[in-house]
Amino acid sequence: MTGLVPPGAPDRDRAAVRRAAAAWSGLVEPGDRTAGTLLLAVGPVAALAWLRAACEPGTRARAVARLRDRLEDAPDELSARRLLAAVDRWGPRLGRIDTDRDALALQRLGGRVLVRGDDAWPTGLDDLGPEAPACLWVRGDPAALAGPPAVALVGARAATSYGTAVAADLACGLADRGHPVVSGGAYGIDAAAHRGALAGDGPTVAVMAGGVDRLYPAGNTDLLERVLVRGGAVVAEVPVGATPTRSRFLRRNRLIAALASATVVVEAAWRSGSLSTASLAAGLLRPVGAVPGPVTSMASTGCHRLLREQDAVCVTSVADVLELLPGGAPSGPGGHGAGTDPQDGLGEAARMVVDGLDARRTSTLDELVPTVGLSAADVLAALGELELAGLVARAAGGWALTVTGRRPAAR
């Protein structure tokens, strides 16, 4: 484990890979591009051995030079300057991490560490490239991560009752159709999304900013424990015991975006972390939806901003969300309160003749022609169409509207 495996060579020992990846998840802050590039280039085992060697007194510069010699066409992220700085950043944590201790703690919680190549590894994370996590610390059912296309439902902690109701409705409908709901486990919209998915008897995934041993925030512990026992998962890219810092919350959002095939913001203030999730999803070329709300509600200003400035899709129903997913079909007017109108399907001339007929009496053709403003031939043709549609009936001396024909129509 101390030698440097040449780039591209497969790591032989899967357990060693898992251990090394878990160690890397504690050595670096989430989204460290130099670390991600190094892991993609040489794998976590060789990278860890290299870092240990580079941290021996007086060997740093030589270790960097040796690594760059072995890498053909080293990318900019692995320049000598960046690697030297990285050793200064990662090295001080080498003495702090204890992968055995963390693995044991996770095992006691019934969890496991997933790495690239595992069946349950969510391949969507690979789209993050050098910002992909080294591994995923998972509690609950890993199957929730590799199922049908998932939807991220995110939004404000300071949500309104409108927002939480909409989030729960959407999540319930999505879960009911088998789509996992991904969110951040926070108060407000996140909690409503997880709750809605549970109500819809579908899996839901909560992505933590800190370690999965600590269900955060504390007020949502019961909810997140229900997620765990009901086929869902609680995941993190940092080891058990890690604290949820502000920057980890922001970086965590890229995992939410990458774990889902589409991201929908339900309520968000003008500046809100969920807007960053939406931007990250858009950066991954995943569809972004926003739920509109009253313009008088501060809790919807961020959603309206996404609609105005970011080309987010206006989402008002489960059908609208499904349309965002791969292969989603246009939702059409169903469920939107589309009504039928007795004048549906009528031609323009027929509509004009309906308008020209007096609801209280019979009209002659000679009266109708100048009233309607069409030729006698067109008026007769329209009357025939209306008779077939049951809106007009022949009467003594002319034509009259039927009961159906007298029903008012939308303007």
Residues 16-45 that bind a copy of itself (CB under 8 A): 27-29, 32
CB of 142 to a copy of itself, least distance (A): 27
Nearer to a copy of itself by Cβ, of 49 and 298: the residue is 298
Binders of a copy of itself among residues 57 to 86 (CB under 8 A) are: 85
CB of 269 to a copy of itself, least distance (A): 7
Tell me the per-residue interface mask from 87 to 126 with a copy of itself, x by CB under 8 A, - otherwise. Answer: -xxx-xx-xx------------------------------
Size of the site for a copy of itself (CB under 8 A): 72
Token pair for residue 303?
């959603």
CB of 29 to a copy of itself, least distance (A): 4
CB of 386 to a copy of itself, least distance (A): 14
Cα torsion 266, 269, 274, 277: sign: positive
Nearer to a copy of itself by Cβ, of 15 and 377: the residue is 377
Nearer to a copy of itself by Cβ, of 202 and 293: the residue is 293
Token pair for residue 160?
């309104």
> Do residues 223 and 149 touch, judged by C-beta distance below 8 A?
no
Nearer to a copy of itself by Cβ, of 123 and 270: the residue is 270
Binders of a copy of itself among residues 220 to 239 (CB under 8 A) are: none
Nearer to a copy of itself by Cβ, of 257 and 374: the residue is 374
In angstroms, the CA 141 to CA 138 distance is 8
What does residue 142 show for φ and ψ, rounded to 5 degrees? -60, -20
Q: Which stretch binds a copy of itself (CB under 8 A): 46-54, 135-143, 173-181, 311-319?
A: 311-319
Nearer to a copy of itself by Cβ, of 33 and 230: the residue is 33
Token pair for residue 5?
């495996």
Cα–Cα separations (whole angstroms), residue 320 to 28, 83, 150, 156, 169:
39, 46, 15, 21, 13
Judged by CB under 8 A, which of 6, 178, 294, 390 binds a copy of itself? Answer: 294
- Which three-class secondary structure state does DSSP give residue 95? coil
Which letter does DSSP use for residue 124 in this model?
Answer: G
Judged by CB under 8 A, which of 4, 165, 199, 393 binds a copy of itself? Answer: 165
Judged by CB under 8 A, which of 356, 382, 392, 401 binds a copy of itself? Answer: 356
250 scored as a contact of a copy of itself (CB under 8 A)? yes
Nearer to a copy of itself by Cβ, of 43 and 184: the residue is 184
In angstroms, the CA 93 to CA 388 distance is 83
In angstroms, the CA 337 to CA 269 distance is 29
In angstroms, the CA 315 to CA 325 distance is 12
Nearer to a copy of itself by Cβ, of 5 and 21: the residue is 21
377 scored as a contact of a copy of itself (CB under 8 A)? yes
359 scored as a contact of a copy of itself (CB under 8 A)? no
Token pair 């959407």: residue = 170
Q: Which stretch binds a copy of itself (CB under 8 A): 43-51, 142-150, 162-170, 193-201?
A: 162-170
- The C-alpha angle with vertex 319 and arms to 314 and 320, in degrees rounded to 5, equals 15
CB of 110 to a copy of itself, least distance (A): 28
Q: How many CB atoms lie within 10 A of CB 351?
A: 14
Judged by CB under 8 A, which of 10, 296, 326, 360 binds a copy of itself? Answer: 296
Cα torsion 159, 152, 223, 134: sign: negative
Nearer to a copy of itself by Cβ, of 138 and 374: the residue is 374
Q: Which stretch binds a copy of itself (CB under 8 A): 43-51, 68-76, 107-115, 297-305?
A: 297-305
Which letter does DSSP use for residue 363 in this model?
Answer: B
247 scored as a contact of a copy of itself (CB under 8 A)? yes
162 scored as a contact of a copy of itself (CB under 8 A)? yes
Nearest-10 crossing angle of helices 14-27, 33-54: 100
348 scored as a contact of a copy of itself (CB under 8 A)? yes
Q: Is the backbone of residue 401 left (phi > 0), alpha (psi -120 to 50) or beta?
A: beta
Binders of a copy of itself among residues 264 to 293 (CB under 8 A) are: 269-273, 291-293
What is the C-alpha R_g of the chain? Answer: 31
Judged by CB under 8 A, which of 103, 318, 378, 401 binds a copy of itself? Answer: 378
Burial class (CB in 10 A: 0-12, 13-18, 19+), 79: middle
In angstroms, the CA 191 to CA 222 distance is 11
Q: Could you tell me whether strands 181-183 and 398-401 are parallel, antiparallel, or unpaired per DSSP bridges?
A: unpaired
